[in-house]
Structure 1
Amino acid sequence: MAERSILHMDLDTFFVSCERLIDSKLIGKPILIGGTTDRGVVASCSYEARKFGVHSAMPMKLARQLCPEAIIIKGNAGTYSKKSEEVTEIIKEGVPVYEKTSIDEFYVDLSGMDRFFNSLVLASELRKKIMKETGLPISFGLSENKTVSKVATGEAKPNNQLKVDYGLEKAFLGPLSVTKIPMVGEKTYHALRDLGIRKIQTIQEMPMELMEKVFGKNGVTIWEKANGIDRSLVIPYSERKSISTERTFDRDTIDVIKLKGILLAMAENLAFQLRRGEKLTSCVTVKVRYSDFNTHTLQNRIPYTSADHVLIPKVLELFDKLYNKRLLVRLIGVRFSHLVNGGYQINLFEDATEMINLYQAMDKVRDKHGDRSVMRAAGIEAKTISRFNPFRGEPPPLLPNRRA
């Protein structure tokens, strides 16, 4: 079997780096980005702040106590989205196949390129081009598969690169902490630690069957990753990925309150589907079909988000621009597109934790009791949003069904 060559690239402390491009005085100083009041949450922090024990998702009040000298900045999702697109364009132009897994993270398949170029040279030149044209620091790992390359990127940081030669994957991973394995979160780490497992090498020396007995299917995956085994492919990135819903009415209507209520419910549910699938959208489209079958759509690019309070006003704003008050409406629809992976981090620029906690609480109830178990009052009369998918708690096929 031919050797694969998989590149993983990650923009270093991306939000912080973007802010330093705007204000060079921030370079070398501890930076906290997120909600700016004591009730806020840290979305990102500089390496200088991390030395004090600060990390993302930490309450801003605690971060201030740990690092009193830190400069606190309320994030600007628009700025970060724009810089992310700049990097994406450079990668798109320079490689045959790439996958954008989040706003600041990419995989590139360079397999077979060694027949024409040295893959390490190609990766190095791509990294230099990104840094030169965007001003952003970026690190990469290069190896035979996604897992080893991602871990290598983490070891290369900050602002560096690392290649793990074919056949040396286990030797590279062995001395590292089990926390370096992608998918090993805090709970799994504590469970491994309780078993006396701290280094990846210990897992490498264990029978796979033992890991499976303790952790089930996840145990097999952890064992494979620890041994440098990962057969997953680089999935070509497409900005056409989207989720959408629409409603055709039995009777054409001009009831604006009804129309807006349904649109609100649509946007609210799709936003929940984004969060459940750990996705962010950067493009909102509203569709209106009139009784004469003329169909009109309007879309807007927005900063990456999955937040109701950002998406719902944008949907209603687009509808107001589209709607012709003199015509009966036959169909309305909403689509969120240009999706990338990303959890709550991009939404942590809120001043208060209440909004984030509210989303998490509502999503947990919806996961357990169904999509429409919690909803805004304005959309409550939208008994069905899509005739073909009347909210049975099923996400669109694109998104994984993540349980809380």
Structure 2
Amino acid sequence: MERAIVHMDLDTFFVSCERLKNSELENKPVIIGGGDRGVVASCSYETRFFGVRSAMPIKMALRLCPEAKVIKGDMEMYSNMSHMVTEIIQEKVPVLEKASIDEFYLDLSGMDQFFGCYKWTHEIAESVQKNTGLPISFALSANKTVSKIGTGESKPTGRFEVKQSEIQSFLNPLSVKKIPMVGDVTFQLLSRLGIRTIQTLSEMPVDVLQQLIGKNGNELWKKAHGIDETPVIPYSERKSISTEDTFAQDTIDIQGIQSILSGMVEKLCYQLRAEKWLVSVVVVKLRYSNFDTETKQCRIPYTSADHTLLRYVLELFKKVYTRRMRIRLVGVKFTGLVHGCHQMDLFEDTEELISLYQTMDKIKNRFGTSSVGRASGLLK
């Protein structure tokens, strides 16, 4: 059976949400992000014309496009809109994967026996746009890689299909940077070798690619040929990540417990970023010395940043700890997870803070998770 995989992407999602609130922003250059020392979280197509892009420092973006209106952003609204879109799509498809806050993969394999897959996808996109007011693009093809590239080529509000027989001719003239796994470093390496188009890449012997870029060479060669067997992973709100600590002796040392919570959050957040998860629900668990157990939870904007999640965890701990009684156990759980490449809260984080997190993660990757951490998480 031929696979039918759809990639759906909400066009300039954060900007589109802001335009729902304020119609005066339509067709105007808009940047979503933090203050002068922050970075661009999202930007409209009008600003991209001047070279503005996501993760660029706000100061640099404004030098490129001085007329742009900078908006701090409302992650709570964006999260709610994302949940709304997810529910609309989930009701209509057999298998849905939520790849990030604004990206979705649909597996419609076999549905062409009952409906035309393209027509069915088009109706879903129209339903999203009608019920939320958000523009959405999609591409239908035989696998994730080709459908994702197709969506990028069809934006904005694109409706695109790449049939199996057309895959190679569609990919060949495109830049190698269009392949999802090709970052700046790999692109520069391939460019120096004269490999700038996917066609040139596909004509390279696979063993040569493996010598050049290591174990990913074979995977890159397959993607250049439009080969990708990665399955669509069914989306579930019930996925979670958690940890808890039972003390050797019951304690009432609040500062010490907060230090332990800080260490827990840091370790969980490192795991979130390593596995590319974003969390939308925070839960704190507490067990008293008499074994009474209480929990508190709250829904939050999607994030994987330590300092943001730690703030929520400490606030929940204050709310759940209501008795002057010794504590036997504390725990933290993050639920409502979705896969996402947005690893930081770009509305609050400065460029320096983002670099700090990336550097700390690299140190942990090389020397272990205990090699570096917050001083607050080391207090006992």
* Unaligned ranges ≥5, structure 1: 383-404
Deviates more, 1:345-354 or 1:192-201: 345-354
Q: 1:183 aligns with which of 181, 190, 201?
A: 181
User: 1: distance between equivalents of 2:23 and 2:97?
Assistant: 31
How high is the sequence identity, in percent, across the aligned residues? 58
Query: Equivalent residue for 1:19?
Result: 18
Secondary structure at 2:97 match in 1: strand
Shift of 1:116: 1.0
Alpha-carbon separation, structure 2, partners of 1:192 and 1:107: 29
User: Match of 1:320?
Assistant: 318
Give the drift of 1:149. 0.6
TM-score for the superposition, normalised by structure 2:
0.96
Q: Please give the alpha-carbon distance, in whole angstroms, between the structure 1 residues aligned to 2:325 and 2:215.
A: 56
Distance 2:203 2:374 in 1: 53
Residue 82 of structure 2: aligned partner: 84
Q: Distance in 1 between matches of 2:117 and 2:287?
A: 50
Q: Which residue is equivalent to 1:352? A: 350
Between the aligned partners of 1:224 and 1:329, the Cα distance in structure 2 is 55
Shift of 1:342: 2.6
2:50 equivalent among 46, 49, 52:
52
* Whole-angstrom distance in 2 between the partners of 1:315 and 1:238: 23
3-state secondary structure, aligned to 1:168: helix
| Aligned-partner Cα distance in 1 for 2:46–2:354 | 26
Q: 1:324 Cα shift?
A: 3.4
CA contact (8 A) 1:4 1:145 kept: yes
| Aligned match of 2:8 | 9
Which letter maps to 1:165?
A: K
CA separation of 1:346/1:108 partners in 2, compared to 1, >3 Å: closer, same or farther?
same
Question: Quick one: structure 1 residues 168 and 319, their matched pair in 2 at CA, closer, same or farther if it must change by over 3 Å?
Answer: same
In the alignment, what sits opposite 1:151? 149
SS at match of 1:94: coil
Q: Give the drift of 1:309.
A: 2.1
Q: Deviations over 1:130-171 (max 9, x none)?
A: 000011110001011111111111111011110011222111
**Structure 1 CA distance for aligned equivalents of residues 110 and 297 of structure 2:** 39
Number of the residue aligned with 2:258: 260
Aligned residue-pair number: 380
Structure 2 letter corresponding to 1:329: I
SS of the residue aligned with 1:237?
Answer: coil
Question: RMSD of the alignment, in Å?
Answer: 1.5
Q: Does structure 1 retain, via aligned residues, the 8 Å contact 2:305–2:343?
A: no
Q: Deviations over 1:180-238 (max 9, x none)?
A: 11101111111111111111111222322222232222111111111111111101011
In the alignment, the residues of structure 2 paired with residue 55 and residue 259 of structure 1 have an alpha-carbon distance, to the nearest angstrom, of 42
Within-5 A mapping of 1:278-297: 278-297=276-295
The TM-score with structure 1 as length reference comes to 0.90
Structure 1 residues 210-221: aligned runs within 5 Å: 210-221=208-219
Q: Give secondary structure in 2 for the equivalent of 1:167.
A: helix
Distance 1:141 1:344, change over 3 A: closer
1:312 counterpart SS class: helix
* Bigger shift: residues 356-365 or 166-175: 356-365
Distance change in 2, residues 1:322/1:297 (3 Å): same
* Secondary structure in structure 1 of the residue aligned to 2:323: coil
Of residues 115-124 and 359-368 in structure 1, the stretch that sits farther from structure 2 once superposed is 359-368
For 1:186-225, list aligned pairs within 5 A. 186-225=184-223
Structure 1 Cα separation of the partners of residues 358 and 220 of structure 2:
27
The CA deviation at 1:369 is 3.0
Residue pairs, 1:3-152, within 5 angstroms: 3-37=2-36, 39-152=37-150
3-state secondary structure, aligned to 1:182? coil
Residue matched to 1:393: none
Question: 1:373 & 1:204 partners in 2: Cα distance?
Answer: 41
Q: In 1, are the aligned partners of 2:344 and 2:354 still within 8 Å (CA)?
A: no
- 3-state SS, counterpart of residue 259 of structure 1: helix
Contact 2:100 2:341 in 1 (8 A): no
**CA–CA distance in 2 between the matches of 1:345 and 1:331?**
30
Alpha-carbon distance in structure 2 between the residues aligned to 1:278 and 1:35? 22
Q: Distance in 2 between matches of 1:175 and 1:264?
A: 50
Q: Deviations over 1:256-313 (max 9, x none)?
A: 2222221122112212222232221111001112222222111110011112221112
Q: Which residue of 2 aligns with 1:308?
A: 306
C-alpha displacement of 1:346? 5.0
How far has the Cα of 1:377 moved from its partner?
2.9
- Residue pair 1:34, 1:351 contacting (<8 A) in 2 also: no
Contact 2:141 / 2:163 at 8 angstroms: preserved in 1? yes
SS in 2 for 1:244: strand
The whole-number CA distance in structure 1 between the counterparts of 2:299 and 2:177 is 37
Change (3 A) 1:346 1:15: farther
- Alignment partner of 1:249: what SS? strand
In structure 2, runs of 5+ residues without a counterpart are none
Q: How far 1:351 moved relative to its partner?
A: 6.3
